[in-house]
Amino acid sequence: MSNHPETCFACGEGHYQKVIEDYRLDLPEGETLTVPKLLVLRCDKCGEDIIPPESSRRIETSVDQYQDTLSPAAVRSFLEQFQIDQTEAAEALGMGGKTLHRWARGTQRVSRSMGYFLRALMAHPAVFEWIRDRNWRRGEGTARRARRRLPHRVPQSEGEGTEVISEETRDEDNCKGCG
Ligand SMILES: [Zn+2]
């Protein structure tokens, strides 16, 4: 990319200039990652940055390396190893089906802790079999089980529909912005 004559999206006055700098990034676990000599486009009026696509990819790669991110291919290997589909895996692991789908497609990064967890399950298949055989998410129609799993979510006036709402809410916990 060469010139960026577009007007700044933020202030509507300035224009973007190429800047190469060490780019500092806050990670969810409270750590900071620096991507050295990254190209960003910065408004010469208000200082607003935009990150060009190739720089975004460099940031993604750096975060994956730093966090030992489990790759989408490894997530699919996990499903193949246990011969389960995404729905079954999500149920066994107690997570939303959409999240697993996004992991397998690579549209959402596997968190570091879940990456370690899945690696451990692949290395010790008996542990996954044990989790799956527990059927934790089955039979959640009983209020007793729901209360034990979600102690802070069950409201005072709990009814038949309460647990169902909680389950749906948990599936929607992903960030609306990044998915
Ligand atoms: Zn601006």
For 102-161, how does the pLDDT look when each residue is reduced to its tens digit (9 = 90+)? Answer: 999 999 999 889 999 999 999 999 999 999 888 777 655 444 444 455 555 555 554 444
Q: How far apart are CA 20 and CA 18, in angstroms?
A: 7
Q: Per-residue confidence at 9, pLDDT binned at 50, 70, 90?
A: very high
In the reported structure, the alpha carbon of residue 6 is separated from the centroid of ligand 1 by a whole-number distance in angstroms of 10
Record the tokens describing residue 85, joined without a space: 């589909």
Q: State the number of CA atoms in the 13 A half-sphere of 44 facing the CB.
A: 9
Rounded CA Rg of the chain: 22
Q: How far is the CA of 47 from the centre of ligand 1 (A)?
A: 6
More confident residue, 142 or 95: 95
* Alpha helices (H) along the chain: 53-67, 72-82, 86-93, 97-105, 112-123, 125-134, 143-149, 162-171
User: Rounded to the nearest whole angstrom, what is the distance from the C-alpha of residue 17 to the centroid of ligand 1?
Assistant: 11
- What pLDDT is stored for residue 77 in this prediction? 95
- C-alpha closest to that of 162 among 138, 144, 175, 136: 144
Task: Give the per-residue pLDDT at 143.
Answer: 41
> Token digits for 140?
């959640």
What would the mean pLDDT of 76-88 be, rounded to a whole number? Answer: 94
Q: 120 CA distance to ligand 1 centroid (A)?
A: 48
- Calculate what percentage of the chain has a pLDDT beyond 70: 74
Share of the chain above pLDDT 90, in %: 59
Contact 39, 16 (CB under 8 A): no
Taking residues 165-172, report their average pLDDT.
45
* Mean pLDDT of all residues in 157-173: 46
CA of 76 to the centre of ligand 1 (A): 43
Domains and their CATH numbers in the chain = 16-67 (3.10.20.860), 72-153 (no CATH)
Ligand 1 centre from 51 Cα, in Å?
14
* Cα–Cα distance for residue pair 129/9, rounded to 1 Å: 52
Q: What is the pLDDT of residues 12-45, one digit of tens each?
A: 999 999 999 999 999 877 889 999 999 999 999 9
- Is the pLDDT at 177 greater than 70, yes or no? no
